[in-house]
Amino acid sequence: MARAERKAAAAESAKTGIMTPRQIKLVLVGLMAGMFLSALDQSVVGAAMRTIADDLKGLELQAWVTTAYLITSTISTPIYGKLGDIFGRRRMFIVAITVFIVGSLLCGTAADMMQLAAFRAVQGIGAGGLFSLAMTVLADMVPPRERAKYQGAFLAVFGSSSVLGPLVGGLFAGVPAILWIDGWRWVFLINLPIGLIALSLVVSFLHVPHIAKKHRIDWWGAVTIVIAVVPLLLVAENGRDWGWGSTLSIGMIALGVVGIVAFILAERAAKHEALLPLSLFKSRTFSMSTVLGVIIGVGMFGGMMTLPLVLQIVTGATPTEAGFMMLPMVAGMMTATLISGQVTSKTGKYKIFMVTGSGILALGYLYLTSYNADMEYWQVSIGMVMMGLGLGQLMQTLTLAAQNSVPASEIGVATSSATFFRQMGGTMGVAIFISILFNSLADTIANAFKNKDVLAGIAEASQDPAVLADPNNLEFVKALKSGNMGSFADRLSTDSSFLSQLDPRLARPFLMGFADSSVLVFGSAAAVVAIAFALSFFLKAPPLRTKSAVQEKADEEAARLAAMH
């Protein structure tokens, strides 16, 4: 296409909101690149954190690097949704990706852990808009019936990047330097070229009209959502260290509850100008899809956080290897998102995927309750594929149901709200299930020490001079004879590397104990997702609309102007 023709096409799409297939594809590449960065950055830092903390001499501050990003990205998600409705999605997406690029550059130059935590907060402010705005821009461009197949590609990218994060982080952290720059800094610096490509594509090809209307910004909503969310996120991230019943944890929970009440009152007073309009919940479909999103978020993220730990501790994989070993889940997720998207586009049916998706996910967790320390990797992979097949159907269907249940003028806030509640569910899920995992370890390890085969193996190893020649084994045997095994159980929750240094017969009870604790998590996750499965039958699924959000808004504006004349 000649340059003049491209300009003419851009001008036409800016007026009508109808984009050519080529424009849509190029914009989608830009949006998916932004989404890729957002999803990748949530998981990539974890694998490199030990290297980063050692280099910046701040191991005790590493939790704040994760928490700062989580807080700002979660809080900014609904704010971007509302601002996108007010000022236009194109403008806000450009702002989001620019802030994310600047934050990534700052993180890559951090001189200490406090700086890195502050710069991660900046990065999180940008990341909060990348996922929800990408899905909303897609809704602007493409009618709901056609949207499902595109969302499938989006969510395949999102799921893949989330799982591959530990792989990328491990690779960069394992390299001393690239182009004379510390390897771990490329965890952040790699965002710059990808982000700039995404930014240039969006600036060049995303031209959707925005009908400006007078709006009042809901400042009280913005303040109270911070008071509501920040304390709860802090407890979710640090509750295990603080103690769930400690004064600090209870105080944070109480403050969060006060913030929730204040937020609801502020949104009620703001009415249609609210950051999260309560009128959205008058739609039974939106309310039910939101509830399902929270429940699925709890079950999904709790289990997804446990699997990499199982692969590393029980199987003995490195973080990088664990990333590779999660590929069966990615394959299942990509297959399900693409197939369900195509079927939805052809048939217009989407409720069925809510039912089958939650059912298959629950069955995947139920299958993993048979896990034990001797289970082969290929057997674990079956459960991962089932989880991926379930998640792939659910992720896009939840978003599509929320978008299709509201008027075009509220599609931005509806998308960001659905994303926000799913993130909050995910954060709660991680906190709940990681607590179940580690709080049950003492009992499951103690039970493993009662196993006859385990005791026989320990007795045999304890008499082997070659085994006792290793100081690590000798320390373990002495602790066992003195009855002081608590320190070893505690070490498992902070640094499991000692297991690889022990004789396999001595390490055996810890592996069995961890495997048994993970079964409790998988069983709990299965129960949570089963609730979503039961509720999914009650979801009302209105027919998918045939016009994009931009076309609908243009029609509404034309009707309004016609009525005035």
CA distance 42 to 69: 8
Containing 181, the helix (H) or strand (E) segment is strand 181-182
Please say which residue of 227, 246, 274 terminates a domain: 274
**Residue 538 corresponds to which tokens in the numbers above?**
């009650």
Question: For the chain, what is the domain count?
Answer: 3
Q: Is 496 in contact with 312 (CB distance < 8 Å)?
A: yes
Residue 79: inside a domain, yes or no? yes
| β 177-178/181-182 pair status | antiparallel
Same domain assignment for residues 395 and 484? yes
Same domain assignment for residues 401 and 423? yes
Residue 403: inside a domain, yes or no? yes
> Residue 104 has what pLDDT?
93
Residue 397: inside a domain, yes or no? yes
Q: Report H helices in 21-112.
A: 21-55, 62-87, 89-108
Kindly report the pTM of this predicted structure: 0.84
Phi/psi of residue 137, each to 5°? -60, -40
If DSSP codes are grouped into helix, strand and coil, which group holds residue 542? coil
For 257-303, the DSSP string reads HHHHHHHHHHHHHHGGGSSS-GGGGGSHHHHHHHHHHHHHHHHHHHH
Same domain assignment for residues 255 and 156? no
The domain in which residue 242 lies consists of 219-274
Same domain assignment for residues 179 and 56? yes
CATH code for position 402: 1.20.1250.20
Each residue of 9-19: pLDDT tens digit?
555 555 555 66
Same domain assignment for residues 194 and 89? yes
CA distance 310 to 299: 17
Sign of the CA dihedral running 307, 313, 316, 321: positive
Q: Report H helices in 493-548.
A: 498-501, 504-536
Residue 494: inside a domain, yes or no? yes
Containing 17, the helix (H) or strand (E) segment is none
- Report the 10 Å Cβ neighbour count for 258: 14
CA distance 411 to 130: 16
**Helices 89-108 and 62-87, axial angle in degrees (round to 10):** 160
Same domain assignment for residues 312 and 261? no
- Report the 10 Å Cβ neighbour count for 494: 7
CA distance 90 to 95: 9
Residue 563: inside a domain, yes or no? no
Containing 177, the helix (H) or strand (E) segment is strand 177-178
Q: Is 65 in contact with 112 (CB distance < 8 Å)?
A: no
Same domain assignment for residues 186 and 264? no
Same domain assignment for residues 316 and 171? no
> Residue 565 has what pLDDT?
65
> Residue 1 has what pLDDT?
46
β-partners of residue 177 are: 182
CA distance 2 to 11: 14
Same domain assignment for residues 202 and 256? no
Same domain assignment for residues 239 and 335? no
Distance of CA 206 to the CA centre of its chain: 26
Same domain assignment for residues 168 and 259? no
Closest by Cα among 530, 326, 527, 522 to 440? 522
Residue 560: inside a domain, yes or no? no
> Residue 306 has what pLDDT?
83
Residue 564: inside a domain, yes or no? no
Q: Which residues in the chain show pLDDT less than 70?
A: 1-20, 47, 50, 58-60, 152, 155-156, 159-160, 162-163, 208-215, 302, 319, 482-498, 549-550, 552-561, 564-565
Residue 561: inside a domain, yes or no? no
β-partners of residue 181 are: 178
Same domain assignment for residues 204 and 116? yes
Each residue of 323-370: pLDDT tens digit?
778 888 888 888 888 888 888 888 888 899 999 999 999 999 999 999
